Structure 1
Amino acid sequence: MISALNRLVDLVEEQLTGELDVARLASGAGTTEYHLRRMFSSLAGMPLSEYVRRRRMTRAAADVVRETDDLLTIAVRHGYGSTEAFGRAFRSVHGAGPSEVRRNGGPLRTQPHLRFRLTVEGTLPMDTRIVERPAFRLAGHATRVPLIHEGVNPHIQQHIASIPAAEHGRLKALGDTEPAGLLQVTDDSAPDAAEGTELTYLHGVALAARTEVPDDLDTIEVAAGRWAVFRTSGPHPEALQTAWAATATEWFPSNPWRLRPGPSIVAVLDRAPDFSTATCELWMPVEPTGT
């Protein structure tokens, strides 16, 4: 996986003004575009699309400062059809437009060329099991929320708080299959989504495929397949978010599994009354590598 990610970084440098064929690279590395993008985002701390934009604007800034070519020529060279589109992308990275930077020599924000290196991790064992599940559905109350990588997501908190206590009891009574109990489900998130990108959040339960769903509930259909289930315990949500990050840095690189498209599910098994600590299970859809 490390070599595939570094080849991806090299490909970015070769194709900064064109389209990246990530699917072809992933196939040659024996993985999928979905998994490669998810691993890049998790390890680099930014989506691949954001890294490409930053590198493109780093190169463009050098041309703006040192060359006498007009800005339209530079914009076209870097893959933009107009100075307006180029200017917006340039400002989003550097905080100033190309004309201002050409006049003043800055400000400039450089994105260094990434390299991924193997480091020794894994000092703490991860409590994991692989589960094969038939198709099932998730039912509950869904909303759209922005993606937040660290800390409590206030939009999710607000959504949960808006559900009456009696409704929580009704949902728990409806659940009839694994994952058990009330579930926190995220879906419709791109594999390299940036923080702030909207995704679907559902607060609900898992139902067998043939179970009838009440008309007032939202549903997510889940395909049959395998799941990696990670058990976490400790301060909430910190312990859960740490485990989520460790799946990318430790578990996937050292195990013959990769992510497949599908929702991510958190089952809260036990918690303190104020939710300051909790024991949870993180369910992630996976498939064997090489399939």
Structure 2
Amino acid sequence: MMIDILNRLVDDIEQHLGDEVDVDGLAASMGTTGYHLRRMFSSLPGMPVSEYVRRRRMTVAAADVTGDEGLLTIAVRYGYGSVEAFGRAFRAVHGVSHGDVRRDGGPLRSQPHIRFRLTVEGNNPMDARITERPAFRLIGQAARVPLIYEGVNPHIQQHIAALPSSAHERLKELSSSEPAGLLQVSADVDPDAVEGSELTYLHGVAVDAADPVPAELDVIDVEAGAWVVFRTSGPYPEALQESYAASATEWFPSNPWRLRPGPSIVAVLERAADFSTATCELWFPIERA
């Protein structure tokens, strides 16, 4: 079960705070992939594995800093090659320098040891279906934007607003494959899904792999495989973002599937004129766990 694998990862981090964390190796030994493990970890506690490791290192290191041991010795113990690099990480977590803590004893910010537990409620069934798709292409207008978890992403808004209305109509005419209609595509997402990290956002449509593509449009080639499709309806984008979170906390821990590399796709099926509410489909590429 994914919950057990996540807890095993947390235990390994705790036992090797001064070493590089081999997420891919642990995932392989537990029958899953590093890609899926990183995505599930970042979705549940709301931080990537790398950030959790840094916070735990600096939480434990704070006790050493308050003593008399040399700072370089402490830095090396926690995987840093210099006092300066250790100091930057220390300040980023605690908000003060290691010198301040050595002199005054604080203030300190502690990162507790995470434990994952599955809470079964069963009162909010998810509307999901599995579909097999041949290889296809996503074509449209792409831009690099930062990842934002809550609310409307203003960078995506600006990208779409800059397109003339004729561009939207032309894309609709080119659509020839599922998912149908105008699509919101997120690709090249950091597996750790760090908020603020860059991803490729494409405003476009799906076409068959053999279809000709106008030279001025951006293209994302999508491999054949299985997809899980979640249907959401309600306030936009809140209902959609809640479905993203629920896929990690409810659906994936309860089903024999895991994420595989590839873009996530949002198809807007119906929407209010002011886009305050919408019915959407959220597509994730998956494989058997």
SS of the residue 2:44 aligns to: helix
1:18 aligns to what? 19
Q: Write the mapping of 1:24-39 to structure 2, written as runs, cut at 5 A.
A: 24-39=25-40
SS of the residue 2:52 aligns to: helix
Contact map agreement 1:17 1:56 (CA 8 A) in 2: yes
Identity in percent: 72
SS of the residue 1:62 aligns to: helix
Q: Cα deviations across residues 180-211 of structure 1 (Å, max 9, x unaligned)?
A: 00000001112212110111100000011011
Q: Matches of 1:46 and 1:131 in 2, distance apart?
A: 30
Quick one: which amino acid aligns to residue 123 of structure 1? N
Q: Write the mapping of 1:112-123 to structure 2, written as runs, cut at 5 A.
A: 112-123=112-123
1:122 Cα deviation (Å)? Answer: 3.1
SS of the residue 2:76 aligns to: helix
2:76 aligns to what? 76
Gaps of 5+ in 1: none
Q: Which moved more, 1:114-123 or 1:211-220?
A: 114-123
2:94 aligns to what? 94
Q: Cα deviations across residues 145-176 of structure 1 (Å, max 9, x unaligned)?
A: 11001111111111111111111000000110
Q: Matches of 1:96 and 1:139 in 2, distance apart?
A: 48
2:233 aligns to what? 233
1:48 aligns to what? 49
Q: Cα deviations across residues 119-154 of structure 1 (Å, max 9, x unaligned)?
A: 123311111111111111110000011100111111
Quick one: which amino acid aligns to residue 51 of structure 2? E
1:246 Cα deviation (Å)? Answer: 0.5
1:8 aligns to what? 9
Quick one: which amino acid aligns to residue 197 of structure 1? S
Q: Cα deviations across residues 47-81 of structure 1 (Å, max 9, x unaligned)?
A: 1110000001111111101x201211111111111
Q: Matches of 1:122 and 1:271 in 2, distance apart?
A: 28
Quick one: which amino acid aligns to residue 255 of structure 1? N
Q: Matches of 1:193 and 1:70 in 2, distance apart?
A: 36
Quick one: which amino acid aligns to residue 24 of structure 2? A
1:282 aligns to what? 282
Q: Cα deviations across residues 61-104 of structure 1 (Å, max 9, x unaligned)?
A: 11101x20121111111111111111111111111111111111
1:106 aligns to what? 106
TM-score between the two structures when normalised by the length of structure 2: 0.98
Q: Matches of 1:78 and 1:15 in 2, distance apart?
A: 9
Q: How many residue pairs are counted as aligned between the two chains?
A: 288
2:148 aligns to what? 148
Q: Matches of 1:108 and 1:228 in 2, distance apart?
A: 43
Q: Matches of 2:193 and 2:132 in 1, distance apart?
A: 27
Q: Matches of 1:180 and 1:21 in 2, distance apart?
A: 39
TM-score between the two structures when normalised by the length of structure 1: 0.97
Quick one: which amino acid aligns to residue 155 of structure 1? H
1:181 aligns to what? 181
SS of the residue 2:117 aligns to: coil
Contact map agreement 1:121 1:250 (CA 8 A) in 2: no
Quick one: which amino acid aligns to residue 4 of structure 2? S
Q: Matches of 1:213 and 1:103 in 2, distance apart?
A: 65
Q: Matches of 1:125 and 1:87 in 2, distance apart?
A: 47
Report the aligned-residue RMSD.
0.8
2:205 aligns to what? 205
